[in-house]
Amino acid sequence: MPFYRDQVVPRLLHVALGLEIVAPLRERVCSGLAGDVVEIGFGSGSNVPFYPAEVSYVAAVEPADVGWRLAAKRISRATVPVRRAGLDGQRLPFDDDTFDAALSTWTLCSIPDPAAALLELRRVLKPGGALHFLEHGLAPDEKVRRMQRRLVPLQKRLFGGCDFSKPILELISGAGFELSEADVFYQPHAPKVEGAQSLGVAVSR
């Protein structure tokens, strides 16, 4: 369903991920970002208002043209330069050791090969560079995990391949990052199957 995937899903995500209820989470994950930053899954730019003043530049990786158009107003108000600089988080068009930090929010769930995307982020980060992440993924409770696995096929069809049963912290560690901060929790006022969140910072070794 190319029309649904290309035209409808970006608009659904623009609304769902732009709700005020998630603003405190975006503020938390963006805290501490500095220097040149690569953001994968930029979407419609919902993180833009939360970039700290210490950020000097953001390279936005976003495959959806609709999402990029929806981001125009936020980008025009941004206090730092933001440029669309890639389409695929699994194949980043940047040299090694380019960025001081990376940002990923609700993105790894939809990337077909998140391990490849994480290895790419490690490649383009400078040694000691930090990945700031906020992802929904595999719940901490087995009962919720079973429900997640049952719902994954429907979730993937409705939300552009989103698989909320991925083990986020294991994927990040497996790609060679060292977790310096990690908070796994259920987002208040959200169904547990969708609201199991992993928020933290991981450093490229």
Domains of the chain with bracketed CATH: 2-204 (3.40.50.150)
Give the N- to C-terminal CA distance of the chain in Å, as an integer: 40
Strand residues in 54-189 grouped as ranges (E) = 55-61, 82-86, 99-105, 125-136, 177-186
pLDDT, position 145 = 95
Q: Are 67 and 46 in contact (CB under 8 A)?
A: no
Q: How far apart are CA 93 and CA 15, in angstroms?
A: 29
Backbone angles phi, psi at 186, to 5 degrees: -95, 125
Look at residue 8 in the predicted model and tell me its pLDDT.
78
How distant is the alpha carbon of residue 17 from its chain centre?
Answer: 11
Per-residue pLDDT of the chain (205 residues; tens, 9 = 90+): 577 677 877 786 777 677 788 999 999 999 999 999 999 999 999 999 999 999 999 999 999 999 999 999 999 999 999 999 988 999 999 999 999 999 999 999 999 999 999 999 999 999 999 999 999 999 999 999 999 999 999 888 888 888 989 999 999 999 999 999 999 999 988 899 989 999 999 999 8
Q: Is residue 177 a contact partner of residue 202, using CB atoms and an 8 Å limit?
A: yes
Long-range Cβ pairs for the range 178-185 (8 Å, 24+): 178/202, 178/203, 178/205, 180/130, 184/140
pLDDT of 102? 98
What is the pLDDT, as a whole number, of residue 128? 96
What is residue 1's predicted lDDT score, i.e. its pLDDT? 58
Write down the pTM of the prediction: 0.93
Please tell me the distance from the alpha carbon of residue 173 to that of residue 185, in angstroms, as a whole number: 18
